[in-house]
Amino acid sequence: MATGRSQTVVDRIIAEAGEVRRKISRNGKPRMKMPIRSLSNVKYNPKPGYFKLQGKSKIRTLTVNTVKAFAQTLKMLAMSKELIDADKNSTKREAYYQAYNWGEAAFGGQEESDAVMDDVEAMLGVNREKLHFRADEHGGEVAGALAVIDKDRRTGRRVNIDCTAFGSGAYSVPSVVEDLGFETDADFILAIETKGMFERLVEENFFGKFNCILVSMGGVPSRACRRFIRRLSDKKKLPVYVFTDGDPYGYYNIYRTLKVGSGNAAHLNEFFCVPRAVFLGVTPDDIVDYKLPSHSLKEVDIKRANDALKNDPFIQHYKVWQKSINRMLEMGVRVEQQALAKHGLDFVAQKYLPEKLKKRKFLP
Amino acid sequence: MATGRSQTVVDRIIAEAGEVRRKISRNGKPRMKMPIRSLSNVKYNPKPGYFKLQGKSKIRTLTVNTVKAFAQTLKMLAMSKELIDADKNSTKREAYYQAYNWGEAAFGGQEESDAVMDDVEAMLGVNREKLHFRADEHGGEVAGALAVIDKDRRTGRRVNIDCTAFGSGAYSVPSVVEDLGFETDADFILAIETKGMFERLVEENFFGKFNCILVSMGGVPSRACRRFIRRLSDKKKLPVYVFTDGDPYGYYNIYRTLKVGSGNAAHLNEFFCVPRAVFLGVTPDDIVDYKLPSHSLKEVDIKRANDALKNDPFIQHYKVWQKSINRMLEMGVRVEQQALAKHGLDFVAQKYLPEKLKKRKFLP
């Protein structure tokens, strides 16, 4: 599936390698150019909707000092091409072990091979899943009004995965989602912080009543989970509502990362952010409006909140987020999704979420 | 489904509460009896195959000092009965928040409500999932020759979840598996430490070639994951082969916990252990036999290994495990599942696992 997309990547690999080869055959010094990946080279602009790299880049020229890194980068490009040709994916760890056979270009440790992989990713301007490298991580869970289209490894035939038909279970998102297709008539995606709340909403038949797709992020969403929500919401023009605990961790580490990305992987935000995501709750106002049990802010919460007010370009862009955070700091408390259970297990599905959705009281 | 089983639990709740009521109405001092849950009250015997509680128990008699804990225990029993009657499940966290409405019997924090839940569980001699309390945790992933039978929350109708039909994705095991049914003609279950290796085997079409069921444990298996493997392997009389990294964490924290349980939850091992599990690899011998890249043991590895030799009743029972661990300590190295990728991504599926399965070189 989507071989067209991978083919483009293969073409780019061939072009990069060909350029190096041409330089060498003319006795020139081959070089590779890649953007600098750090917060100093990033800015937030609501129009593209994510932390965007500015122009700074570094050049790796072949010299005595760079010969090993240069060789590793080329070998990594070659490995990626082989994977794409064979329609296989390699974890970062497997890539590191395969490089044991690279002789003098072998890595000293996985941190070295990861860094080269990041370089290759940034150089080609694609996420590494398109290079057929995958993370060894949990991709989130899905239940609701969605059919995922994938293919059967045994037969190559198309499979249609009906996410309404998992009973109390769910569809587990694979680590590479680039080639998945989607069929849905859902009205929105609800991205949920905890598996506990996800299972609550499955049990309450929430997606049956509110024609929607539930995604359990399991804390800070992994690359696969973010990319899944991004691709699904883009392809099907679906609104994305985010439902986390009401604390700085929920607001920044989870929601902000999902929506605009993070600083230290700025070259990737373009592919992993979900600019159309909006924050549904739990908000500081909800604590009062719904008489929810709350807990005192921990020191780490206060530190995180002040950091965000001071340094986070996303928060600095939105007055309403600054207001919410200041409100939270004044109240001195945080609140959990599951606190809604004080009013009965079905309160979240019968009253809280329907009211929030109806009033469209979202934060940007 | 399986209402019969839950009914038994309800009967036991009614009996316990009835006994308390009878005592009170005769002006007697009601009391509740529960086993002591600690390593000092546990032993390993290969016949039942798990760390088994010995007879010691504690008695909670209603006095001025115990009145709050006594009330909480009764309220927790009542909450469980309500959940079973409504066919709902509550996370431990939700249970804690629901108890906000218990007036003077409300909990000071979740650690208090968790302790009472543990007491109730031990008192009735059932796992808390049967009381309709669930953990907020990941239950593992499944792909392969299995249909899981569950029911649709919207219609109450039976759903048949075909675990061969998820493409590159998987079935995500719910946190409560008590009522799931199974249909399979698989020859064995392969329980795998990492999601990365699980996806490798899915990609290599391993379950298509070796009629089996793949389970990704994602590190130390959660309660749901252990219970799922236990129920499936019991119901269908399936061998369980365990495939972890070759280090003390893989041997004890993962394999030993899956097979015989753990010390600090001894009252639960009966339900969560998988006595028929055997260890497939990666073993210290494999490092030599398959020329695998390895890494030096860390200090924590050495400590864990020595602890196991000295204190672990399971290891002390099996000479062959002691031999393996001593071998590992002599060699001074650990090895990862993914190290097999040195010989090519498909080596694990084409050569390593088939050879191990054919030679039946398992550790007990």
Provide the ipTM: 0.90
Q: Kindly tell me if the per-residue pLDDT of B363 is higher than 90.
A: yes
Contacts of B97 in chain A (CB under 8 A): 293, 336, 338-342
Contacts of A174 in chain B (CB under 8 A): 167-170, 199
Whether A167 sits inside 8 A of B154 (CB atoms) is no
Confidence (pLDDT) at B263:
67
Confidence (pLDDT) at B262:
75
Q: Kindly tell me if the per-residue pLDDT of B3 is higher than 60.
A: no
Contacts of B208 in chain A (CB under 8 A): 153-154
Query: Residue B40 carries which DSSP code?
Result: G
Q: Kindly tell me if the per-residue pLDDT of A38 is higher than 70.
A: no
Question: How many angstroms away from the CA of B292 is the closest CA of chain A?
Answer: 10
The residue of B111, B172, B201 whose CB has the most chain A CBs within 10 angstroms, and thus the best one to mutate to test that interface, is B172
Whether B172 sits inside 8 A of A166 (CB atoms) is yes
Q: How far is CA A132 from CA A6, A179, A322, B4, in A?
A: 9, 11, 40, 49
Contacts of A202 in chain B (CB under 8 A): 153
Q: How far is CA A198 from CA A143, A173, A182, B308, in A?
A: 9, 15, 21, 38
Confidence (pLDDT) at B39:
63
Question: 3-class DSSP state for residue B95?
Answer: helix
Question: How many angstroms away from the CA of B230 is the closest CA of chain A?
Answer: 17
Confidence (pLDDT) at B318:
93
Closest residue in A to B158 (Cα–Cα): A167
Q: Kindly tell me if the per-residue pLDDT of A4 is higher than 60.
A: no
Cβ contact A246:A301 at 8 Å: no
Confidence (pLDDT) at A3:
44
Count of other CB atoms within 10 angstroms of residue B237? 7
Contacts of A94 in chain B (CB under 8 A): 196, 200, 338, 341, 345
- Give the closest residue to A240 by CA, choosing from A248, A249, A231: A231
Whether A169 sits inside 8 A of B170 (CB atoms) is no
Confidence (pLDDT) at B233:
97
Confidence (pLDDT) at A200:
95
Rounded to whole angstroms, how far apart are CA atoms B69 and A69?
Answer: 64
Question: How many angstroms away from the CA of B305 is the closest CA of chain A?
Answer: 24
Task: Write out pLDDT tens, residues B146-162.
Answer: 999 999 977 889 999 99
Question: How many angstroms away from the CA of A85 is the closest CA of chain B?
Answer: 14
Whether B97 sits inside 8 A of A341 (CB atoms) is yes
Q: Reply yes or no: is the peptide bond before residue A220 cis, omega within 30 of 0.
A: no
Count how many pairs of residues, chain A against chain B, have C-beta atoms within 8 Å: 176
Nearest to B93 among A101, A174, A196 (CB): A196
Whether B341 sits inside 8 A of A200 (CB atoms) is no
A251 is catalytic: no
Nearest to A172 among B91, B94, B141 (CB): B141
Nearest to A159 among B165, B170, B173 (CB): B165
Confidence (pLDDT) at B7:
63
Closest residue in A to B292 (Cα–Cα): A97
Task: Write out pLDDT tens, residues B45-69.
Answer: 777 777 777 778 888 888 888 899 9
Mean pLDDT of B234-251: 96
* Measured CA angle at A73 (ends A71, A79), to 5 deg: 100
Q: Kindly tell me if the per-residue pLDDT of A351 is higher than 60.
A: yes
Question: How many angstroms away from the CA of B188 is the closest CA of chain A?
Answer: 19
Task: Write out pLDDT tens, residues A259-315.
Answer: 988 766 677 788 899 999 999 989 999 999 999 999 999 999 999 999 989 988 889
Whether A205 sits inside 8 A of B153 (CB atoms) is yes
Closest residue in A to B102 (Cα–Cα): A342
Confidence (pLDDT) at A64:
85
Nearest to A153 among B176, B180, B203 (CB): B203
Q: Kindly tell me if the per-residue pLDDT of A12 is higher than 70.
A: yes
Confidence (pLDDT) at A288:
94
3-state helix, strand, coil in chain A (%, to 5): 50, 20, 30
Count of other CB atoms within 10 angstroms of residue B330? 9
Mean pLDDT of B262-280: 84
The residue of B88, B89, B132, B168 whose CB has the most chain A CBs within 10 angstroms, and thus the best one to mutate to test that interface, is B168
Query: What DSSP assignment string belongs to A313-345?
Result: HHHHH-HHHHHHHHHHHHHTEEB-GGGGGGG-T
Question: How many angstroms away from the CA of A3 is the closest CA of chain B?
Answer: 16
The residue of A129, A132, A133, A338 whose CB has the most chain B CBs within 10 angstroms, and thus the best one to mutate to test that interface, is A338
Task: Write out pLDDT tens, residues B114-144.
Answer: 989 988 988 888 889 999 999 888 889 999 9
Residue B6 binned pLDDT confidence (cut-offs 50, 70, 90): low
The residue of B195, B232, B298, B348 whose CB has the most chain A CBs within 10 angstroms, and thus the best one to mutate to test that interface, is B195
Nearest to A98 among B93, B199, B342 (CB): B342
Whether B153 sits inside 8 A of A202 (CB atoms) is yes
Whether A136 sits inside 8 A of B194 (CB atoms) is yes
Helix residue spans in chain B (DSSP H):
3-25, 67-86, 92-98, 110-124, 195-203, 206-209, 223-235, 248, 257-260, 269-272, 284-289, 299-311, 313-317, 319-331, 347, 353-359
Residue B2 binned pLDDT confidence (cut-offs 50, 70, 90): very low
Q: Kindly tell me if the per-residue pLDDT of A41 is higher than 80.
A: no
Q: Which of B44, B50, B96, B97 is catalytic?
A: B97
Cβ contact B186:A236 at 8 Å: no
Q: Which of A44, A50, A96, A97 is catalytic?
A: A97
Question: How many angstroms away from the CA of A28 is the closest CA of chain B?
Answer: 34
Cβ contact B134:A199 at 8 Å: yes
Closest residue in A to B108 (Cα–Cα): A295
Question: Global pTM?
Answer: 0.91
Question: How many angstroms away from the CA of B257 is the closest CA of chain A?
Answer: 22
**Contacts of residue A260, Cβ cutoff 8 Å, sequence gap at least 6:** A44, A49, A50, A51, A269, A273, A275, A314
Whether A218 sits inside 8 A of B138 (CB atoms) is yes
Cβ contact B219:B186 at 8 Å: no
Task: Write out pLDDT tens, residues B297-341.
Answer: 999 999 999 998 998 888 989 999 999 999 999 999 999 999 999
Nearest to A98 among B94, B180, B341 (CB): B341
Q: Kindly tell me if the per-residue pLDDT of B1 is higher than 50.
A: no
Closest residue in A to B101 (Cα–Cα): A342
Mean pLDDT of A115-137: 89
Whether A138 sits inside 8 A of B208 (CB atoms) is no
H/E run at residue A52: strand A50-53
Residue B277 binned pLDDT confidence (cut-offs 50, 70, 90): very high
Residue B11 binned pLDDT confidence (cut-offs 50, 70, 90): very high
Cβ contact B41:B266 at 8 Å: yes
